[in-house]
Amino acid sequence: MRSLKGTTKGCDIFREFQKGLLTLKVPITNVCNITTDGAPNMTGKKSGFLGLFNQNYPGNNVVFLHCVIHQDTLCKSALNMKPVLDTVVKLVNTIRSRGLTHRQFRDFLQSVQSEYSDVLYYTKVK
C-alpha cells in the first residue's frame, strides 16, 4: 500500500502503482485484476489510471472490475429497497420482541444447522 501526497489524478495513482510494482519486484505479467471505485481518475480512458495502464501496457490481459462495495451502493441507488427492508425489519422486530417466538426461532435455526444462530437487530447506517 502506498500513500498519495497532494493530488490524486490518474497520473499520480499510476505513478505510485508503477513504483509499488518496482519496490515489490512484481512483473506486470503477474497483475491479472485491478479493482477500482469507478471514479473518473481511475476509469478515464485517456488520463485516468485505466487509460494510462492500457497505454503503457498494451495487449495486457488485466481485467478491470468495479469494487463490490461500490456495486452495492450503485444497486441500492437504482432499486427501491425500502418496501423490502420495511418488511424484513418488521419481521425481525416481531421475532425479537416475543421471548417464546425468539427461542423457537433460535431452536429452528439450530435444527436446520443454519450458519447463523440468531436473528440480528436492524441498524440503519448511512
**What digits encode the pLDDT tens for the residues 59-84?**
888 898 877 666 666 666 667 778 88
12-40 pLDDT, tens digit each: 999 999 999 999 999 988 999 888 887 88
Radius of gyration of the chain (CA): 23
Q: Whole-model pTM?
A: 0.53
Euclidean distance between CA atoms 8 and 41, whole angstroms: 7
Please indicate whether residue 2 or residue 126 has the higher confidence score (pLDDT): 2
Cell numbers linked to 68 = 463490490
